[in-house]
Structure 1
C-alpha cells in the first residue's frame, strides 16, 4: 500500500501512519501499556468510544474547509470502515464512529490522499484551528482570516512545543467583531482589525487569551487590542511555551490555560504576559509574515443557464431563503447554509451534496460551528434549483442558525463522558419550536445548545438557553436530568458571556421548561429585546421560580426515570474521558521517552530545524529528570517544578553528577536565540545528561531490585 500511495501522501504523514501501525502491533503484543498507548493514539485522532471494542476516529479540518472531493473521500471511508455516518462537530471537524482500531491506519491513509489529516485531532495538543465559516464572503469582515487560520494550523502541526502538554490548546479566528467563531471562549482568540498608519491600512488582530467552556467557563481576557498580523504566530508560540512549562498537569480539571492566567489559581495575567515576553528571545521567528496565498484559489461553478424549476412548497422555499441564505460581500453571489440534524449526514447524501457543490457552488465547503454546512458562491439565479436538489436530499430544512437549529453533542450515544441523552431531546425541542414557536425562528436571536455532560462539547455555556446532562438521585432510583442555563453566548455587539445555571430538572421535563421560558419571553420581553437582556432584567431567581415546580421529586412520574431514546429505567454509566495524560507507567519507560525525544532532536538537526532541535532537547532534559524524581516518589505536576525539585533532591544533595544548577542548565532555552551553535551545544548537554540519568538509574536498580519494575501511580506522573 505504501509504495502505491507514496506520491499522494506527504513524507511526514507517511511516517505518522507507519508509526501508528507499529504502535498498534506493539500494543496488541503487550509491549505497550494500555494507558501509554491511549496517550499516543489520541494525538492520532483515535478516541475510545462508549461502546467496547470500537473507536471514534476524528479528522482535523482547519476552519472547517473541505473541497467536494475531500467530502466524497470521507463519505467513502465512512461507508467502507464505519457505520456510514459523518458527524460534524462544533470544532468544525468530522468524526467517524464505530471504527476498529486496526482499521485506523487505513482510514488515515485514504484520507491523507486527499489532504485530510488526523494528526493532533485529539489529546493534549493544539487542537483544530477553528474559524468563522463566513470568512472570505462575510459582508462585515475587515479582511479574510482564512490564510491566517491556515498558517497557524500548519505552524503548530507536529511542532515539538505542543506534543507533550498537560492539556489541550484551542484557537479560533472570527471573521469580524460579531465573533461568530466564539473567540472569547478559546485559549487563543483572534478578531481581525484594520487601522491606518501613515496613510496606509495595516492588518492586525484583537487578541484574546485564556477563555474556555466546560465545568468552569471563563470569558477570555484581551491581551492586545491590536496585534500586528506578523506577530500572531510568534506571540502564540511564546505563550504556548509558557503554558507548557508552568501549566498544571497533576490536576486535570485545573490544567487549562484559563487557570494558569487566573490571579488566584495560577500565575495571574500580568505575570503570564511577562513570561511570554521573556520567552520571545528563544522562538525561531520574531516576525512571521502570513502568506495570503496559502489557501488554494477558489474554483467557481461553471457558467451556465440555470433551468426553470417549479417550487413544490413555496412557503418552505421562502422560509429557507429568509433563514438559510444570505448575500455575500461579492455581489450576485449567495451563501447557502445547510442545517444538519444533530450534525449527522449519511455517506450517500454527502456524495450527492458534493455533486451539487461541483455544479452550483464554489468548491469551498465550510463546516460551521453549529454543526452545519455552508455553500459559497451560489448565484442568485441558481437558488431555486439548488433548493430543489437540497430538498430532495432532506437538506433544505429552514431555520439554520436560529432557535430551531439546536446544537447537540453525541452525548450518551457514543461518548464515554455522556451522563444523559442530548440528541433525542434536541430533536424533540426542535419539533416543539417549529410547531409552536415558528415566529421566534425569524424574529428572535436565540440559540439553544445541549451537551451530554458539563464539559460543553455542545457549547451549552455559550447559549442563550443551554442544557447539560446530569442526574438526580431520588430514593433508590436515579432520574436522567438536564441542567438549565440561561444568558450565555455572544451578543449582537460581539461580547461573550457565560450562561448561569438556573435549575436541574428531569430530562423528560425539558420540553415543558422550554415552553415556560419561551412563553414568558414572548409575554414579558420588550419589543425587539435581546433574550439575554430580558434574562438579566428579570434575574436568575425569577427563572428559578418559574421552573421550580418541575424540580419537585414528589411530582416525578414513571416516564421521568427513562431517558430519551431508552425503554428501561435510567442507570448512570459514565466512563473516563480520554483527553487526560497517562495514569501510570514504569520508570524505565519514562526514561525511554526521554531517549525518543533525543532521537527526534538529532533527526531535526540533520534538517537544520534548530528551534525544533532545541525544544526536543529541552524535553529530553525535563523527562529524564522526571524519571529520577518519580523513582523517589517526588510529585511532578509542572515542568518548572521538575527543574527546581531536581536541584533540591539530586543536585544540591550531590546525588547526581551535575556541574552548576539544573534549572539554569535547562532554562538556557530562554537566554539564547535558536541558532545552530546553541542548538548543537544544548543537544550535547541533553545527551550527556540523559547518559548520566541512565547510569544513575542502573545503579539505583542494582542497589534496590524492587525499583526495577516500579510503577508511578496516578498524580505523580502527569508532568
Structure 2
C-alpha cells in the first residue's frame, strides 16, 4: 500500500496557493484586507460569491471537461462534505459546487488538488477553463485529436504571470472539425484543427478565430489565420495575451473584452492587433513550442462478461436511446454514449453509481459536454444494452441528448447574483411540454433551446435556435418576471456561427405558450420537410415572429400567478446583485504601491529560480502598477497599461515630478529583448530602482490621508 499522504499528491505550487488562500481568508476576517480587494484574490482561486449571503460557489477548472471515474467520485464525496450533494455541470465543461462556506474552501481545494483537479483561475480576470469538443479523439470527422493540444495550453498558462490580472477574462475553445462544435466563433480565441502539406509532409495546425463573445452585445469572431502551424499555437496565444493585457480596456468593464479591442472602428482592429502580437514575439520564452501527442491507442477497457442481462429493460426506449444518444467512434467497433443530464445537475449518489457503471462498460475517460451533459467513450456494441439498463435505473438514459428536448440553462436565480429570473424552473416546464406535445421532436438535433437568467448568456441563449434570457416587465406599480425571446442563432450547415436576434419580451409564465406558437408555426411551414429553423427565421424575418407572438405580450389582463416566477411562492421582485467577474471596488494609493512591491518580490523570486520570462513580466507589472499609483494620486485616471505608460511619461517624467530618463522606453524594453538572464537581471534592477523612487515620491507628497481611488481606475 502506498504511504503517500494527500499532501504528497499536491504539487508545491498548488500547496503554496492553498496556503496563501488560508492566509488571505484570515487577514480578511481580521479586517486587514478590504472586502472588494479580497474578492479579486479569491475569484482567481475559484471562490465565487453567490446570491445567498455567507456562502460561496466553488468552481473547478477541468480542461476540455475530462474526468476520470475516481475524480467524479471524489467530487461527489466533496459535494456531500462541503456543499449540498449536487454537482452542477456548466456550459464551460466545469463542475460547480454551491453553498460552500468560505472557511472550508482551502480544504476543499486541497482535496481537489490531491485528485488532480484545480480551482486556480476558474474565475476572475484570468484565462478561464479551456473548452473543447467532447468528442475530441473519437470524432469521425476530426483531422486529429485536439485534446493533447488543449492540455498543453492549459498546463503552460496555469499560474502564468501574463494572464493573472488582466482587464477581463479570456475564454478559449477548440473544436474537433469544421463543424465548430465547441463554438469557437463566440470565444476570445477559437481553434479549429487543420492539416496542410508543407514540403511534402503533412503538418498539423489550426484555423484561428479571435474576438468572439456573447453577453449584452454579441460578436462573432474574426479569422486571424486560415492555418497556424501547431508549434506556433502557444507562442501566438501568449503574444496575444500580452497585447490584451497592455492595450485592453480596464476602466469600463463592459468594454474590457477582446471583442472590443479588435473592433475595427473603436478598437485597434484585427490587423493592428496581429502586428502588435508579432512585436511581442521577441519577449517570448519559446518562439516555437512543439506539442508531440502520444500515439493514439485503444485504452485499457473492462473485461466483458457475456452473460445475459440480469435485469429487464425497456427495449423500445433502448432503441430510441441508441439511435439518438449513441454514435460510432472513428475507432471502428466502438461507440460513444451521450448522457442527458437535466438542468446539468447530478446528485452525488448518482455520480458515484455512474462512476461504477463506467468502470464496467467504458473507458476511464468521462467528458463533460458543452450542453451540460456527459459523454462516455470506447463502449463495445455488446456493452450498450447493459450500459443502458444501468443508466436507466439512475434516470440517466433519457433519449434526446443535444436535441430539442435537451434544454441548456444556467442556474439563474437559484444561486446567481446577476440573474433576473429563474432559468431552471422554466427549463423543467418546457421539457415537460416538449415530451407531452411534441414527442416526435425528441431527438431533433436541428432545433435547440437555451436559457439564461440574464442577458450575460451563461446559458448561451444567443446561439440557440430559440433562446430566452431573464428580464422584467413593469405593469402599473408591480413588476412581472419576464423572458426576452431571441431566435435564429446557432451554427449553419457549414459550421458558421449565427447570433440570434431579439424578437419580443413576454411574461415568463407565458413562455410555454410562446414556444408552442413558434413550433406550431414552424411545423406547419416545413410540413414534413427538413428545413432548418435558422433558415426559416431568416426567410420570415424578425417582424413576422414579433407579430405572431405579440398577442401574448398584452398585460391588460394579468393573472395573479403571472406575478410569480417559476418555482416561486411569493411575488416577483427584481433583485440583481453585482457580478463577480472582475476585480475590486475601492482601494488607496498606499495599497496600490504595496501591490507593486508584491509584484517586484515575485520578480525577484522568479529571477532566482531561473524563470526569466516570468521575472521580466512581474517586473513589468510592478512598474505599471507603481506608475498607476502616482497618476491616480495626481487625479489622472488610467484605463489601459499603454495609457499608463504614456501618461506617466507625459505628466510625471516630462514634468520632472520624478527623475527618470525615459519611462516609456525603459518599460517597453520588455518586448524588444529576448528573456535572457542578462536582460532579466537588468530589467529587474530597473524595476527595483523605479519602485524606490515611487516610494520616495509618495513619502514626500503633501497629503493628510491616503487618497481613496474608485475601482474603475484601480483596475488598470
- C-alpha change, 1:472 and 1:16, in structure 2 (3 Å) is same
Partners of 1:294 and 1:574 in 2: CA distance: 50
Partners of 2:361 and 2:5 in 1: CA distance: 34
User: Root-mean-square deviation (CA), in Å?
Assistant: 1.5
Shift of 1:413: 0.2
Match in the other structure for 1:438 = 439
SS at match of 2:8: coil
1:468-617 alignment, distance < 5 Å: 468-525=469-526, 527-617=529-619
Shift of 1:282: 1.2
Match in the other structure for 1:328 = 329
Partners of 1:593 and 1:496 in 2: CA distance: 41
Match in the other structure for 2:250 = 249
**Which digits, 9 at most, give the CA deviation of each residue in 1:440-464, with x for residues without a partner?**
2234511100000000000001111
Shift of 1:200: 2.2
1:343-362 alignment, distance < 5 Å: 343-362=344-363
Match in the other structure for 1:387 = 388
**Would the aligned equivalents of 2:218 and 2:499 in 1 still touch at CA under 8 Å?**
yes
Match in the other structure for 1:450 = 451
1:186-335 alignment, distance < 5 Å: 186-293=187-294, 298-309=299-310, 311-335=312-336
**Would the aligned equivalents of 2:402 and 2:445 in 1 still touch at CA under 8 Å?**
no
Partners of 1:6 and 1:385 in 2: CA distance: 39
Match in the other structure for 2:710 = 713
SS at match of 1:7: helix
SS at match of 2:561: helix
- The farther-off stretch of 290-299 and 669-678 is 290-299
**Would the aligned equivalents of 2:189 and 2:208 in 1 still touch at CA under 8 Å?**
yes
Shift of 1:531: 1.0
- C-alpha change, 1:55 and 1:444, in structure 2 (3 Å) is closer
Partners of 2:308 and 2:613 in 1: CA distance: 58
Partners of 2:558 and 2:626 in 1: CA distance: 57
Partners of 1:294 and 1:330 in 2: CA distance: 14
**Would the aligned equivalents of 1:301 and 1:363 in 2 still touch at CA under 8 Å?**
no
Partners of 2:44 and 2:360 in 1: CA distance: 37
SS at match of 2:153: helix
**Would the aligned equivalents of 1:601 and 1:683 in 2 still touch at CA under 8 Å?**
yes
The answer to whether structure 1 residue 155 and structure 2 residue 156 are counterparts is yes
Shift of 1:309: 4.8
**Would the aligned equivalents of 2:399 and 2:442 in 1 still touch at CA under 8 Å?**
no
SS at match of 2:686: helix
Shift of 1:283: 1.1
Shift of 1:310: 5.3
Match in the other structure for 2:51 = 50
**Would the aligned equivalents of 1:467 and 1:484 in 2 still touch at CA under 8 Å?**
yes
**Would the aligned equivalents of 2:408 and 2:449 in 1 still touch at CA under 8 Å?**
yes
**Would the aligned equivalents of 2:423 and 2:470 in 1 still touch at CA under 8 Å?**
yes
Match in the other structure for 1:99 = 100
Partners of 2:183 and 2:225 in 1: CA distance: 17
Partners of 1:513 and 1:555 in 2: CA distance: 17
**Which digits, 9 at most, give the CA deviation of each residue in 1:401-442, with x for residues without a partner?**
000000000000000000011000011101111111121223
Shift of 1:57: 0.2
Gaps in structure 1 of 5+ consecutive residues: none
TM-score normalized by the length of structure 1: 0.97
**Would the aligned equivalents of 2:124 and 2:169 in 1 still touch at CA under 8 Å?**
yes
Partners of 1:671 and 1:353 in 2: CA distance: 54
SS at match of 2:631: helix
1:47-196 alignment, distance < 5 Å: 47-196=48-197
Partners of 1:524 and 1:196 in 2: CA distance: 46
Match in the other structure for 1:675 = 676
- C-alpha change, 1:396 and 1:11, in structure 2 (3 Å) is same
**Would the aligned equivalents of 1:147 and 1:294 in 2 still touch at CA under 8 Å?**
no
Shift of 1:314: 2.1
**Which digits, 9 at most, give the CA deviation of each residue in 1:194-215, with x for residues without a partner?**
1222332111100000001111
Partners of 2:71 and 2:530 in 1: CA distance: 42
Partners of 1:565 and 1:50 in 2: CA distance: 16
Partners of 2:143 and 2:213 in 1: CA distance: 25
Match in the other structure for 2:647 = 645
SS at match of 1:572: coil
**Would the aligned equivalents of 1:311 and 1:317 in 2 still touch at CA under 8 Å?**
no
**Would the aligned equivalents of 1:161 and 1:241 in 2 still touch at CA under 8 Å?**
yes
- C-alpha change, 1:296 and 1:253, in structure 2 (3 Å) is farther
- C-alpha change, 1:169 and 1:444, in structure 2 (3 Å) is closer
**Which digits, 9 at most, give the CA deviation of each residue in 1:148-194, with x for residues without a partner?**
00001111110000011000000000011111111111000000011
1:11-50 alignment, distance < 5 Å: 11-50=12-51
Shift of 1:716: 2.2
SS at match of 2:531: coil
- The farther-off stretch of 628-637 and 37-46 is 628-637
The answer to whether structure 1 residue 373 and structure 2 residue 374 are counterparts is yes
Partners of 1:125 and 1:301 in 2: CA distance: 39
**Would the aligned equivalents of 1:416 and 1:575 in 2 still touch at CA under 8 Å?**
yes
Partners of 1:158 and 1:328 in 2: CA distance: 35
Shift of 1:331: 1.2
**Which digits, 9 at most, give the CA deviation of each residue in 1:528-564, with x for residues without a partner?**
1111011101010000001011112214322211100
**Would the aligned equivalents of 1:634 and 1:716 in 2 still touch at CA under 8 Å?**
no
SS at match of 1:103: helix
Shift of 1:251: 0.6
**Which digits, 9 at most, give the CA deviation of each residue in 1:4-46, with x for residues without a partner?**
4331100110000000000000000000000000000000000
**Which digits, 9 at most, give the CA deviation of each residue in 1:490-539, with x for residues without a partner?**
12211101000011000001100100000011111372111101110101
Partners of 1:188 and 1:322 in 2: CA distance: 34
Shift of 1:296: 11
- C-alpha change, 1:675 and 1:294, in structure 2 (3 Å) is farther
Gaps in structure 2 of 5+ consecutive residues: none
Match in the other structure for 2:627 = 625
Match in the other structure for 2:637 = 635
**Would the aligned equivalents of 1:283 and 1:611 in 2 still touch at CA under 8 Å?**
yes
Give the length in aligned residue pairs. Answer: 713
**Would the aligned equivalents of 1:151 and 1:294 in 2 still touch at CA under 8 Å?**
no
Partners of 1:298 and 1:98 in 2: CA distance: 37
